[in-house]
Chain A
Amino acid sequence: MDYFIELLFSGLTRGSIYALIALGYTMVYGIIGLINFAHGEIYMIGAFTAFIVATILSILGFPALAIIVLAGLAAVIWSASYGYTIEKIAYKPLRHAPRLSPLISAIGMSMFLQNYVLLAQTSDFLPFPQLVPDFAFMEPVAHIVGSTDLVILVTTTVVMICLSVLIKYTKIGKAMRATSQDRTMAMLVGINVNRIISVTFIIGSSLAAIGGMLIASHIGQINFYIGFIAGIKAFTAAVLGGIGSIPGAVLGSVVLGLTESFATGYVSSDYEDVFAFSLLVLILIFKPAGILGKVDTQKV
């Protein structure tokens, strides 16, 4: 039973990590129907920004809480400005182009950013400081769930609730939903669609930055390539949950994380990815739109 609980929390942590990235994928897809492949790189840039700021602040001797808040803030601002700029440069001019064009543009953006960080920073692995201290009250259960794991779990839950509230009950959320349903109609009723799309990218990128910081702190290392692998898994999770749906992204991530964790624990970690992707195929066969996805009727 202990072993089951250990694996359960491993899976939940892993799922929450995927969810922090998957939320950004799903939001952008929900609004403009684009799979933003550069999202993983935004996450990586967030991690690098947090790394640089946290390193400087810890040299200056700031307390742990100040470091985590300031590094997080810096990462959010920096990543958000990247997300905003990418949308303006790479996607906006292609908004009326065939669906494949912005997709290729996104893949290009992803490669560009990877190589940019590779050249501007380093190809080496860098040690990421442990931003979350080991809480004393967590010590009895530290062998099951660590302090950083707890922070990730809580952050993911809070972020998901905030996002759902934002979309359901605020004015901007209503505008987002309208844009998502019918962009032209939203424009006709006076919604500034360009602004809504920009806001979506800014929110998505900010989430990726927070994720980047927490996950890098959990793993303890970063390099220019982390965004690619994490991004692929998070994208899978978003599709699994139903791309475009916010609770779906979180659910899909948790399902994926748990599958991987239990596959490792009870079968073999050699087959971790085999199980994860077999599950994806199975779910898509029976629910082509994902677990919580809406079936999109073809617009005529």
Chain B
Amino acid sequence: MSMSFNKKMIAAFAGLMMAAAVPMTGFAADTIKMGVVGPHSGDLASYGLPSVNAAKILVEKINAEGGINGKQIELLIEDTVCDAKTATDVATKLVSDGAEFVLGGICSGSTKAALPIYLDAGILVMSPSATNPALTQSGDYPNFFRTIAPDDAQALLDVDFAIGKMGYKKIAVVHDKGDYGKGFAEFAKKFIEENGGAEVVLFEGVTPGAVDYSAIVQKIKRSGADTVIFGGYHPEASKIVTMMRKKRLEATFISDDGVKDNTFIKVAGENAEGVYASGPMDISSNPLTQQAIDEHKKAFESDPGAFYENAYSAVLAMTNAVKIAGSTDLEAMKKALQTEKTDTPVGAVSFDEKGDAIGVGFSVYQVQNGVFVELK
């Protein structure tokens, strides 16, 4: 009995809160409304909630300093669960609620589904985490920007590094047949062919978990490759590198973010020495990054989660654009984002005409004496 009474109390209380919340949103007439979308519940909530925290921290700070152009910012936080259907419903709701620009779209798929709705309403969208290359490169979504590098940026960086900087001529591209590894390898192959400075002598997938990789290593050896670009994760990478060294194959090994993991060095041991792997740029030395993390610790008494710095940067870039443009008009904001640099935790960013942040992205690291060292 008392259980159900408690439940009723909670329900009544929640109802009261909701009733109270409705007039509050309608109350401040002269505000700038910023939508925050992403998965705030479900499996992927850990990717979405840090963005909400970043938005809350910054909006509170900006409002305390008098807002933008004399107006306070108001947050409209909506949960998309990273589901395409929910994301489009949320977009329609935000448009009718009068959102003027939006932080988010955490997952590429649901972001893509919702973008046309925002575009029709002239709303600028900036994602901290949607990495699908087509979102910017297709040109279909001129209202879309992001503060994270697209998936193919790593492959481009690694290929430029191998051909441009190191002058390798024969490249074997190997992958683990998975979405991530194969995707990376296919981009790498495409960029090598476009570059023309080297040839792809081998393009193959290996079976993850196999007990022995000597056959593929012998094949790499026979192809005459002077370097191997591997798409995949560290368990396979360490097996292949170890087997290459055991079979006395001295070709350079270049890989991706999935290999730039300390477990790789731990498992491959001395065979890891000299291996190159690309990974997100080290931004920890940026004072703004430290400041953003400190603010999160102060406000939420915990360390920030995934994409927090990217979301923090996106909010800074968008609010700065509104300030410069003097309005939330899409074209005016776009122009501001493309011409003016904003100091953010991920660096001083401006955006190219497609919407990707210039200078944000990946660095090549090399294993030197048991640690990944960023090559500048």
| In the complex, B198 has a CB within 8 A of chain A | no
Check B218–A13 contact: CB distance below 8 A.
Answer: no
Selected interface stretch from A175-183, A198-206, A258-266: A258-266
A146 within 8 A of B: yes
A122 nearest CB across to chain B (Å): 11
B211 near A272 with CB under 8 A, answer no
Evaluate contact between B212 and A13: CB separation under 8 angstroms: yes
Closest to B246 in A: A146
In the complex, which residues of chain B have a beta carbon less than 8 angstroms from the beta carbon of A149? Answer: 214
Q: When A125-B235, A127-B267, A220-B267 are in contact, do A272 and B207 touch as well, CB less than 8 Å?
A: yes
Digitize A6-24: 1 where CB-to-B-CB distance is under 8 Å, 0 elsewhere: 1101110110011000000
Q: Does A194 belong to the interface (CB within 8 Å)?
A: no
A6 nearest CB neighbor, chain B only: B218
Residue numbers in B under 8 Å from A158 (CB-CB): none
In the bound assembly, the distance between CA atoms of A148 and B263 in angstroms comes to 23
Tell me, yes or no, whether B234 is within 8 Å of chain A by CB: yes
Q: How far is the CA of A126 from the CA of B222 in the complex (A)?
A: 31
The residue among B216, B239, B246 with the most chain A CB atoms within 10 A of its own CB is: B246
Taking CB atoms, residues of chain B closer than 8 Å to A39 are none
Contacting pair A230 B211 (CB below 8 A): yes
- Would you give the 0/1 interface string for A208-244, flagging 1 where the beta carbon is closer than 8 Å to chain B? 0000000100111101011001100100000000000
Do B207 and A124 touch (CB < 8 A)? no
Q: Is the CB of B218 within 8 A of A229?
A: no
CB pair B177 A220 closer than 8 Å = no
- In the complex, how many angstroms separate the beta carbon of A39 from the nearest chain B beta carbon? 15
Residue of B206, B219, B238, B263 with most chain A CB atoms under a 10 A cut-off: B219
Is the beta-carbon distance between B211 and A10 smaller than 8 angstroms? no
User: For chain A, which range describes its interface: under 10, 10 to 19, 20 to 34, or 35 or more residues?
Assistant: 35 or more
Q: Is B196 an interface residue (CB 8 A)?
A: no
A6–B339 Cα gap in the complex (Å)? 58
Number of A-B contacts (CB under 8 A): 92
Cα distance A229–B206 in the bound complex, in angstroms: 14
- Contact between chains at B215 and A261 (CB < 8 Å): yes
Of B219, B221, B267, which is within 8 A of A125 by CB?
B267
Q: Are B266 and A143 in contact (CB under 8 A)?
A: no
Point out which of A3, A148, A272 has the most chain B C-beta atoms below 10 A from its C-beta: A272
User: How far apart are B190's CB and chain A's nearest CB, in angstroms?
Assistant: 18
User: Within 8 Å CB of B239, what residues of A?
Assistant: 219-221
B247 within 8 A of partner (CB): yes
Residues of A within 8 A of B177 (CB): 270
B376: Cβ under 8 A from any A Cβ: no
* Residues on the B chain within 8 Å of A269, using CB: 204-207, 215-216, 219
Q: Complex Cα distance A148/B212, Å?
A: 12
> B219 — nearest CB in chain A belongs to which residue?
A265
B77 an interface residue at 8 Å Cβ cutoff?
A: no
Interface residue? A142 (CB, 8 A): yes
Give B261's nearest chain A residue, CB to CB.
A125
Contacts of A268 in B (CB 8 A): 204
Task: Decide if B51 is an interface residue (CB 8 Å cutoff).
Answer: no
Checking B212, B248, B249 against A10 with a beta-carbon cut-off of 8 angstroms, the contacting residue is B212
**Contacts known (A270-B205, A273-B207); A143 close to B215, Cβ less than 8 A:** no
A-B contact pairs, 18 of them (CB 8 A): A9-B214, A10-B215, A10-B218, A14-B211, A14-B214, A126-B267, A127-B267, A142-B246, A143-B249, A146-B246, A149-B214, A219-B242, A220-B269, A221-B267, A264-B216, A265-B218, A270-B177, A273-B207
A residues sitting closer than 8 Å to B (CB atoms) are 3, 6-7, 9-11, 13-14, 17-18, 124-127, 142-144, 146, 148-149, 215, 218-221, 223, 225-226, 229-230, 233, 260-261, 264-265, 268-270, 272-273
5 additional A-B pairs beyond A10-B214, A148-B246, A268-B204, beta carbons within 8 Å, are A14-B212, A125-B238, A220-B239, A220-B242, A229-B210
